[in-house]
Amino acid sequence: MRIGLPRALLYYRYGPFWEKFFTGLGAEVVVSRRTDKALLQSGLAHVSSEVCLPIKIAAGHLLDLRDRVDVVFFPRMVWLEDRQYACPKMIGIVDIARMVLGGRVGLLTPSIKGDFAMPHLLAGLRVNANPAAVLRAYHRARPELRRGGCTETGRADRSVALIGHFYNLEDDYVGHTIRRTFERSGYRVLVKEALPEAVLRGRCGFARAIRWVYERELYNAFQSLSTRSDGACVVVSMGCGPDSLVAEFMHDDAEKRRIPYLQLVLDEHTGTAGLVTRIEAFVEMMERRRATTRAA
């Protein structure tokens, strides 16, 4: 059996785990190709123009898999512990996937509601009917879920906090450009993936009110990372509902604490040249600030 994994959204967090899990079950895993212009274009034709960039990209990845696999594995994240929801579009994209793919390929879409293991085990049974094999494969793949916690807490010489959803930052289309531009300017990029779970899931201040699981992570990461970097760059996608709200609070905090703040809004028309220019200008501003604080 050939199982397709779209290289979009949750893949950037659980991808290695899924690959290992399904290979362990004896299936052949096919991951869609890296995001490029043509892939995005094909996705645009299939979803409404108003949804955010990652959803459009996800539609492109689904189309890329359409003719190559038997089954597409595309789980639906509804909520994780503590009734923290994923965003409406991430829940709904799974239904859109059914419409995009048509009847041609099977779709394996376990719903994750609080419990992570059970939906995966049940989905595994659909691939390999032997329960013992499923359990074994799950157990073997589980180490992939653990993310590397923070190793260094000290303040680097030049660093910038890059705050954004993992599926935006790790995507090849624009995310990599942002990171590379900062690194080329000699800045170390701090992302939320480097922080320990306990910090990301914290419930202090406004984070307590946020009921979107990934948004709470962003807000906590901002609070924690911006204090030990020279500036914060927040990447949001046009049309992202949760971001439009939480970024506003981050902006406020940055203003209050006088942290250099840059907000980049991504959509399908975003060109790399424009991004690079804005980032370079931001870097220059941080440099000037460093010079003045040293002089004072």
Instruction: By CB under 8 A, name the binding residues for another protein.
Output: 47-48, 50-51, 76, 78, 85-89, 91-96, 99, 111, 206, 209-212, 236, 238-245, 247-249, 252, 265
The tokens for 154 are 């000290």
Shortest distance in whole angstroms from residue 22 CB to another protein: 22
Shortest distance in whole angstroms from residue 210 CB to another protein: 8
Nearer to another protein, 25 or 90 (CB): 90
Shortest distance in whole angstroms from residue 27 CB to another protein: 24
Q: How far apart are CA 241 and CA 51, in angstroms?
A: 10
Nearer to another protein, 79 or 136 (CB): 79
Q: How far apart are CA 50 and CA 40, in angstroms?
A: 14
Shortest distance in whole angstroms from residue 245 CB to another protein: 5
The 3-state DSSP class for residue 257 equals coil
Shortest distance in whole angstroms from residue 180 CB to another protein: 26
212 contacts: CB under 8 Å, gap ≥ 6: 84, 85, 86, 87, 242, 246
Shortest distance in whole angstroms from residue 74 CB to another protein: 12
Q: How far apart are CA 274 and CA 283, in angstroms?
A: 14
Nearer to another protein, 20 or 89 (CB): 89
Shortest distance in whole angstroms from residue 86 CB to another protein: 8
Nearer to another protein, 41 or 48 (CB): 48
CA atoms within 13 Å, Cβ hemisphere of 70 = 8
Nearer to another protein, 74 or 182 (CB): 74
What Å distances lie between residue 64 and 61, 67, 163, CA to CA? 5, 7, 29
Q: How far apart are CA 135 and CA 152, in angstroms?
A: 35
Closest CA to 145 of 20, 284, 5: 20
Nearer to another protein, 85 or 282 (CB): 85
Give CA angle at 190 (188, 192), nearest 5°: 165
Which phi and psi (to 5°) does residue 71 adopt? Answer: -135, 140
Shortest distance in whole angstroms from residue 167 CB to another protein: 16
Distance of CA 160 to the CA centre of its chain: 18
Nearer to another protein, 86 or 141 (CB): 86
Q: How far apart are CA 31 and CA 182, in angstroms?
A: 29
Residue 265 bridge partners (DSSP): 236
| DSSP single-letter state for residue 156 | P
Nearer to another protein, 158 or 278 (CB): 278
